[in-house]
Amino acid sequence: MRYEFLRKPRKCPACASIRIADIMYGYPIFSEELDEVLKTGKVILGGCCISRDDPKWECFDCHVSIYKKTKSKLAEFPDFTLKSP
Ligand SMILES: [Zn+2]
């Protein structure tokens, strides 16, 4: 089962937990602030390997992956269209 949402869901679609974490990709700069955020379970680290189809969120309790529903690649990167040359 693949879960897709346009926006971050308030509850986990699988276990109804309200602890949905943002998945942060890449190598973050470790700091006390990041440490605190990771402890709360609001953010988890997705690692450095980014594919074209990575989940955006993950349930902190049952670890189900939640994908962001996108209509096109442009919708995924809205900033792209806003930048003027
Ligand atoms: Zn869950």
Residue 19 Cα to ligand 1 middle (Å): 8
Confidence of residue 20 (pLDDT cuts 50, 70, 90): very high
Q: What separation in Å is there between the alpha carbon of 50 and the centre of ligand 1?
A: 23
Q: What percent of the chain has pLDDT over 70?
A: 82
Structure tokens at 5: 């949402």
* Tens of pLDDT, residues 36-69: 988 888 899 888 777 778 899 999 999 999 999 8
Residue showing tokens 């900033």: 79
Whether residue 32 is contained in a domain is answered as yes
CB under 5 Å of ion ligand 1: residues: 12, 14-15, 17, 59, 61-62
d(CA 42, ligand 1 centre) in Å: 13
The answer to whether position 45 is within a domain reads yes
> Which residue has 């605190």 as its token pair?
36
- Are 21 and 59 spatial neighbours (Cβ–Cβ below 8 Å)? yes
Domain total in the chain: 1
Host H or E run for residue 76: helix 73-76
Q: Is residue 79 part of a domain?
A: no
Asked if residue 80 is part of any domain, the answer here is: no
Range of the domain at 62: 3-70
DSSP code of 75?
H
Q: Report yes or no: 3 and 25 within 8 Å, Cβ to Cβ.
A: no
